Structure 1
């Protein structure tokens, strides 16, 4: 009887031990599952800015519409535009126009829902996602990049110097173009390829970090990798969850080379000849977002919402960091600016990739959004900045023959 009792005790101890181990295993699995779900549940999300006031009167809208339409007809006479154009104030559209073809061969017209390539205006959206992660304390503005991307070879480069183009890095389009031992142009380049090349091919800095401004697409290709590392999502999915979906930007997406290359609006030279894809077309963060003016209006107003960032961080976004030379032009955290001696400030970003040109203007004091996109190469896209003069004291120079409405 004693032996049976001991055996029963041993069995009970063994069962208890198995129960404890099983509980620990389940707890570990539960923890691992929570970690896997963490990015989705804790991702910071943009919030729409709605019901802006005051509501514009019909007379005011009509007056501004006439002036904007006159500017549009001067800039693109005889319906020569091939793209999308919108001007809004307080979130209310004053004027919009959509002309030309998204696809010349198919005779597919550009409409208000046609996504066009944003080129470098994509940088504003990439910066916005990074800023939301900073605001949520997932990363720090002054954090060293090599604490996130372990193989990143430049120890002094921070997230801030990526955002404001003061990292000193070289442009990936140049160091992958000239030497076949660095990269074979028959292969499509990816963001990870850029990082690996810099880490293994002795690609040095162009200048010492944070000593001068040098606009460089490599900065934003690295920011896209940081977004992926921190969120544990693809850049495409992270941008969708942080920005596009919360704001209802239903016609905005990150270009997926394999999935989208045959369906997106191609780009064209000024003479209408289609421009094909090349080995750089799979890199994202610095470019490769497609959108519409109406979607970008939602985005712009959300960026001017009190919920966007803390006041301190918001101010840092619109501070110029390149003051080694005296001048009016500067760059903040993902935004270009002109700072006149009068105290007036103008914030914008332009873009150019293949035949795509883009212009994004945000007049903060006047709550005005100006968007111009084209998939047929033209520099006229950039002239829309002059419309700022309709809303405030922005001292742009008029071209010969132009007059202010």
Structure 2
């Protein structure tokens, strides 16, 4: 080989090396740009998940509460009928937990502490928290119009805050896509973007005038998920992982990848143990479609309610009721339900129900207690765990199941 040919080959090799290096540098720069620009440091929690919090519970206290909770559990779910997972903790320290039944009845896969179960509308609490982290980072303004973030959105008076507290006046997507084939063919799986497009092109009217009253509506949280995607330039699945799940060590929590994993997750069952199949609404996220465990949700709860996770003023807004047009004790904050009694005592919670999945998340803020129940076999007893609050504070629930 002569010198000229050697020189040409060497130059070509050098060009390939430099080109490859440049492409790698560009890709790394792009990744870094997304990480730095779209998820600034103040979006992510400023703390690690809380463990072994103080004051440390005494053995006698744990024994007493364990006995009382166990009595409630056995009366509430007689003959090991829960088919789910259950946890009670104080100061981040687990007092009681139980896992029973099957994640999948066909192959007898047992439910364990590491088994993710669909948390249904408790997903709204996590979606709201991701939005609030972006508010904290000044990437989202609670009182800006949704049209500032989603140009197709057809209701000009709705703000981000109204999505969070269910005062938008929108109709539930499950209703306006179910009754008219010209709006949606139920043979096709609905997506969040489909909902937005339908509302913008099919003349879907409001259920009531924006801002006039509370009306719980899953469409609100489907839109919040799209706003998260718009702001972070990431899928909702990845954004939730980066903002919430990974920083808090929630290793068994994820947003369902419907196309990839719809047959690989725990199915749900009717009360008679008949499996409930997948339908055209099962791809929507934000209002549902997060899978988690009680231990992971405990990590989330302790972080979310710590003083370093959200700015104090913003956290106070979360637990403020925004629906006061009717006198009563029940209200809704920013992604959390509440009961506000006249004596000043407040009870915060969120329940969930999707297909056969039921869930209950209860943070007793004054007592630093967390109660979580998840099940994949339909049973309203999941919601009865609120009665356990009387073991820890002055909550006026009538309880017959605790001795």
TM-score when normalising by structure 2 = 0.91
- Cα distance between partner residues in 1 of 2:194 and 2:209: 23
Q: Does the 8 A contact of 2:69 with 2:402 survive in 1?
A: no
- Cα distance between partner residues in 2 of 1:212 and 1:305: 31
State the SS of the aligned residue for 2:240. helix
Matched, 1:131 2:132: yes
Q: Does the 8 A contact of 2:75 with 2:401 survive in 1?
A: no
State the SS of the aligned residue for 2:178. coil
User: 1:288: how far off?
Assistant: 0.2
Paired position in structure 2 for 1:176: 177
Task: Write out aligned runs for 1:290-309 (5 A).
Answer: 290-309=291-310
Paired position in structure 1 for 2:275: 274
Change in Cα spacing, 1:403 to 1:74, as seen in structure 2 (3 Å) is closer
Change in Cα spacing, 1:33 to 1:362, as seen in structure 2 (3 Å) is closer
- Cα distance between partner residues in 1 of 2:237 and 2:31: 22
- Cα distance between partner residues in 1 of 2:255 and 2:314: 26
- Cα distance between partner residues in 2 of 1:240 and 1:30: 20
Paired position in structure 2 for 1:77: 78
Task: Write out aligned runs for 1:151-166 (5 A).
Answer: 151-166=152-167
Aligned residues: 375
Paired position in structure 2 for 1:57: 58
State the SS of the aligned residue for 2:221. helix
- Cα distance between partner residues in 1 of 2:140 and 2:315: 16
Paired position in structure 2 for 1:329: 330
Paired position in structure 2 for 1:343: 344
Matched, 1:205 2:214: no
User: 1:36: how far off?
Assistant: 3.9
User: 1:35: how far off?
Assistant: 4.5
User: 1:39: how far off?
Assistant: 1.9
Matched, 1:100 2:101: yes
Paired position in structure 1 for 2:262: 261
- Cα distance between partner residues in 2 of 1:314 and 1:43: 15
- Cα distance between partner residues in 2 of 1:154 and 1:111: 45
- Cα distance between partner residues in 2 of 1:86 and 1:41: 33
Paired position in structure 2 for 1:363: 364
| Deviations, residues 56-105 of structure 1 (Å, cap 9, x unaligned) | 00111011000000000000111111000000000000000001000000
- Cα distance between partner residues in 1 of 2:39 and 2:312: 26
Paired position in structure 1 for 2:8: none
Change in Cα spacing, 1:241 to 1:29, as seen in structure 2 (3 Å) is closer
| Deviations, residues 128-158 of structure 1 (Å, cap 9, x unaligned) | 0000100111111101100000111111100
| Deviations, residues 335-376 of structure 1 (Å, cap 9, x unaligned) | 000001111000000000000000000000100000000000
Paired position in structure 2 for 1:120: 121
| Deviations, residues 362-393 of structure 1 (Å, cap 9, x unaligned) | 00010000000000001000000000000000
**In terms of Rg, which structure is larger?**
1
Which is worse superposed, 41-50 or 62-71? 41-50
Change in Cα spacing, 1:99 to 1:29, as seen in structure 2 (3 Å) is closer
User: 1:49: how far off?
Assistant: 2.9
User: 1:44: how far off?
Assistant: 1.0
Matched, 1:314 2:315: yes
- Cα distance between partner residues in 2 of 1:128 and 1:70: 34
- Cα distance between partner residues in 2 of 1:205 and 1:331: 20
- Cα distance between partner residues in 2 of 1:229 and 1:252: 22
State the SS of the aligned residue for 1:155. coil
Change in Cα spacing, 1:88 to 1:146, as seen in structure 2 (3 Å) is same
| Deviations, residues 19-70 of structure 1 (Å, cap 9, x unaligned) | xxxxxxxxx9999776444224557113323442100001110110000000
TM-score when normalising by structure 1 = 0.90
- Cα distance between partner residues in 2 of 1:107 and 1:262: 15
Matched, 1:239 2:240: yes
State the SS of the aligned residue for 1:286. coil
State the SS of the aligned residue for 1:323. coil
- Cα distance between partner residues in 2 of 1:384 and 1:377: 15
Paired position in structure 2 for 1:44: 43
- Cα distance between partner residues in 2 of 1:42 and 1:334: 23
